[in-house]
Amino acid sequence: MAEFTTQPPLPAHVALAVVFQVRAGVLDVLLWERARDPFRGMWSLPGGTLAPEETLETSILRHLATKVDVREVAHLEQLGTWSEPPRHPERWELATAYLGLVPLGLDPSVPPDTRWHPVEDLPATAFDHGSIVLAGRERLRGKLSYSNIGFALAPDGFTLAELRDVYEAALGYEVSATNLKRVLLRRGAIEPVGKTKAHGPAGGRPAEVYRFCSRRFEVTDPFAVLRPPTP
C-alpha cells in the first residue's frame, strides 16, 4: 500500500461577523462591498482569514475593528461554522461566524465600503453570507425568547413602547408592550429607573423609563418560547 509522503492540504479558516442593529424600526445587518474577485461588487460579512497562531475570538475582533467601533458592540458570541467544500469557488475554506449586536440609538462610524442593510431586503451577497445572516437572525430570535439578550439591542434607558419596537423589529411580528412588560418583570430582566420620558409631538402622559437589570447575557427562562400571535 502506498504511503503519503506529504501532509494533506489543510483548509483556510476565516472568521465572520453577523452584526445586527435596529435602525429606523428595522433589523439591519452590517455588510461591506467586495472590491476584488471572487464576487467583486457583491456584499459580504465583515471578517477575514485567521493570522498565524491567532484565536478565532482575536481574529474576529481584529477584522471587525476595521469596519465598526467594536466598543459599540454590546454582545458577541459564536454562531456556528460553515464547512461545505463548494462554499468558496477558489479554495477549501471553513468559516466560523459570530453574532454581534449594537444597541438602538448608536451610530458607529463605518468606512465608505460598508453599509447597514435591512435583513428583510438583503442585496446580492458573496459566498453563503446571505444564509449565514439568516442563521444569525434565527439565533437572535430564539434567544429573545429565553434570555435577556434584548439588553444588547436596546439603549440604556427605554420606555416599554421603545422596547416593544425593538422586539418587533427583531422578531418580525407584533408584540404587546403590556405582555412584554409582564414577562420581563417576572423574569427579573428589567426594572424601572424612577424616571419618566415625555412622548413625541403627539403628546400624552409621560412614560416610565426602564432598564435591563444586567447588561451581560443571562438565561432568564430556559423553557420559554416567544411565539407570533395566532390569527
pLDDT at residue 10, as a whole number? 84
Residue listed under C-alpha cell 442585496: 123
pTM of the model: 0.92
pLDDT at residue 9, as a whole number? 79
Q: Do domains 12-140 and 146-212 have the same CATH topology?
A: no
CATH number 3.40.228.10 given to 12-140: no
Please state, for a pLDDT cut of 90, what percent of the chain lies above it: 87
Beta bridge partners of 133: none
pLDDT at residue 215, as a whole number? 96
pLDDT mean by block of 10 residues, the chain; 231 residues: 66 96 98 96 97 95 96 97 94 97 96 97 97 98 96 97 97 95 96 88 81 96 71 62
How many residues are there in the chain? 231
In tens, the pLDDT along 49-93 reads: 999 999 999 999 999 999 999 999 999 999 999 999 999 999 999
**Helix, strand or coil for residue 58?**
helix
pLDDT at residue 230, as a whole number? 64
pLDDT at residue 5, as a whole number? 63
pLDDT at residue 227, as a whole number? 65
Domain ranges of the chain: 12-140, 146-212
Q: Are 220 and 187 in contact (CB under 8 A)?
A: yes
CATH number belonging to domain 146-212: 1.10.10.10
